[in-house]
Amino acid sequence: MTRIHLLVDEAEKERYRRHAERAGMSLGAWLRQAAREKLAAEDPGVRIGTAEELGAFFDACDARERGREPDWEEHRRVIERSRRSGLAPS
């Protein structure tokens, strides 16, 4: 591990500290998590360029997931239930 020093003004530090406290984290842990989330948001993710890569992607998904995929009618019921419970259109 290595240490990184950041220069921030006192108000900014206090704002970060309050967010960390609300999350039940130390300031350092909160800053590390924020940095990881920033990097993940900028990550282009999986790029699939060939049929073989697509097959490998689906194989990896199948190996990772358990259970069964709901059929279309089950998906439609969930969607309709969500629509009925959501906000009314403006």
By residue range, what is the domain housing residue 7?
A: 1-64
Is 26 among the domain residues? yes
**pLDDT tens, residue by residue, 5-31:** 999 999 999 999 999 999 999 999 999
Cβ density class 44-82: b for 16+ within 10 Å, e for less:
eeeeeeeeeeeeeeeeeeeeeeeeeeeeeeeeeeeeeee
pLDDT of 64 above 90? no
Predicted local distance difference test score (pLDDT) of residue 20: 95
Does any domain span residue 4?
Answer: yes
Position 84 in a domain: no
Q: Take residue 39 and report the two structure tokens written for it.
A: 């990097």
In a domain, 80, yes or no: no
Does 75 fall in a domain? no
Of these ranges, 37-41, 67-71, 75-79, the one predicted with the greatest mean pLDDT is: 75-79
Q: What is the mean pLDDT of residues 68-72?
A: 85
Count of domains for the chain: 1
Q: How sure is the predictor about 86, in pLDDT bands with cuts at 50, 70 and 90?
A: confident
Q: Is residue 59 part of a domain?
A: yes
Question: Taking the CB of residue 31, how many other CB atoms lie within 10 A of it?
Answer: 18
